[in-house]
Structures are given as structure tokens and as C-alpha cells.
């Protein structure tokens, strides 16, 4: 498979059938072959909250500027008990084509590690953590009861069956460049239903 060919210093791309189960092995292999893994306790230099969950298939790109070795923490709202999970689906140098029908049908737990950038798979935020205080570009709370944020994005729905919880993914670039980090909120057993995909376009200087 062409996607197994890696050029030293480049981000290992997920190619062929994007986000297929076969390619999850490649992500795991990349994680085992590099020493740039993120420390789970590493503090956040910047926190962004992505929680605008919509009950339909949708895709959004969020552009963020950062610097080398700056730890960006992504907070992700989720609803408990509905079968949906936030998953890290890939890191790319170019914007990938998103096709939920090719998403993994088994839960992905691997983080992404390369000489260029490291990204952790979303995990629950500890209750005593301060990483839920964000300066979000699209979900900043203003204390009002409006249904939209100051940037006109819908607020995450808190009053849902099963309650809500917050997950966190950490991103640490090791080299300058542009990266597309793909997260998706979907049901592994039904990936084409109401899938929310969020792509972080990270510009690193």
C-alpha cells in the first residue's frame, strides 16, 4: 500500500481509502516508531473548545495559528450514552476528502506521533483539571442565555438525555508547516449517520 511509504521528516499521510480500518494500523505503527509522544500531564499553552454538535452530517474547518512546541488543547463536547464518540482520524499536509462511509467501524484509540507533530486521541478530562477553561474561537461563553456564541456559532447543548461530558486532545507541533488534524464525532457501528467532522487547520511558525 502506498500509504506505508514514509519519507523521513514528513508527516505520515493516510492514503488509499481514507480513514479505513487498514490505515489505523499505520497510525499505531507511527506511534511506536517515534519518541515525540506527548506527556498526558503536559500543560496547555492554548485551549480551544469545539462543541457545536449538529444532528446531521456536517464538516467544519477551524484555522488556528501556533508555534513550534506550543501545546494546543482541543476540548470536545460529547453526549453520554448515545453511541457517538470523538475520534482522531488523521493528520495530513493537505486537506483530505472526508467520506464517513470509509470511517473505521471499530473504535480508534491510537494517538498520532511523528517527527513533525504529535496529537493525542481524545480522552475524558479529569474533573479536577483546569483544561476546561478555554479561550475558544467558536464556543466562548459570555454568560448570557442566547443560543449562539459571540462568533455566531451554536453553543453546545448541555440539556440532553444522558448528560454531557468533555474530552480533550493535545496537539504539539515539532516543526513549522501546515497540518490538517481531523476529528469526528460519530458512531463506529453507523458512521454515516449524523457524523460531525471537525478539521483543525494548524499553521505553525
The domain spanning residue 6 has which CATH number? Answer: 2.60.40.2020
The whole domain housing 102 covers 2-204
- Of 169, 170, 181, nearest to 11 by C-alpha is 181
- Taking the C-alpha atoms of residue 118 and residue 86, their distance in angstroms, rounded to an integer, is 17
Report yes or no: 55 and 31 within 8 Å, Cβ to Cβ. Answer: no
The most distant pair of C-alpha atoms in the chain lies apart, rounded to whole Å, by 52
pLDDT at residue 158 greater than cutoff 70? no
Mean per-residue pLDDT of the chain: 75
**Which range is most confident: 25-34, 149-158, 161-170, 185-194?**
185-194
Collapsing DSSP states into helix, strand and coil, what is residue 203? strand
How many domains would you assign to the chain?
A: 1
Quick: pLDDT tens for 89-117: 999 999 999 999 999 999 888 899 999 99
pLDDT, average across residues 5-29 = 38
- Of 1, 52, 81, 58, nearest to 197 by C-alpha is 58
Amino acid at each position: 500500500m502506498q500509504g506505508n511509504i514514509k519519507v523521513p521528516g514528513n508527516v505520515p499521510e493516510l492514503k488509499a481509502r481514507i480513514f479505513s480500518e487498514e490505515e489505523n494500523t499505520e497510525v499505531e505503527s507511527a506511534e511506536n516508531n517515534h519518541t515525540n509522544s506527548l506527556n498526558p500531564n503536559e500543560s496547555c499553552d492554548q485551549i480551544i473548545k469545539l462543541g457545536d454538535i449538529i444532528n446531521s452530517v456536517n464538516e467544519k474547518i477551524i484555522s488556528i495559528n501556533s508555534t513550534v512546541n506550543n501545546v494546543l488543547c482541543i476540548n470536545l463536547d460529547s453526549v453520554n450514552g448515545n453511541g457517538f464518540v470523538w475520534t482522531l482520524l488523521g493528520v495530513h499536509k493537505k486537506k483530505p476528502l472526508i467520506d464517513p462511509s470509509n470511517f473505521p467501524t471499530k473504535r480508534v484509540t491510537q494517538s498520532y506521533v511523528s517527527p513533525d507533530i504529535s496529537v493525542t486521541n481524545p480522552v475524558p478530562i479529569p474533573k479536577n483539571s483546569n483544561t476546561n477553561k478555554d479561550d475558544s474561537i467558536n464556543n466562548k461563553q459570555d454568560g448570557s442565555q442566547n443560543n449562539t456564541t459571540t462568533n455566531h456559532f451554536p453553543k453546545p447543548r448541555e440539556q440532553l438525555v444522558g448528560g454531557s461530558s468533555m474530552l480533550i486532545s493535545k496537539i504539539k507541533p515539532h516543526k513549522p508547516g501546515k497540518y490538517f488534524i481531523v476529528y469526528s464525532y460519530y458512531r463506529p457501528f453507523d458512521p454515516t449517520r449524523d457524523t460531525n467532522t471537525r478539521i483543525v487547520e494548524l499553521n505553525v511558525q
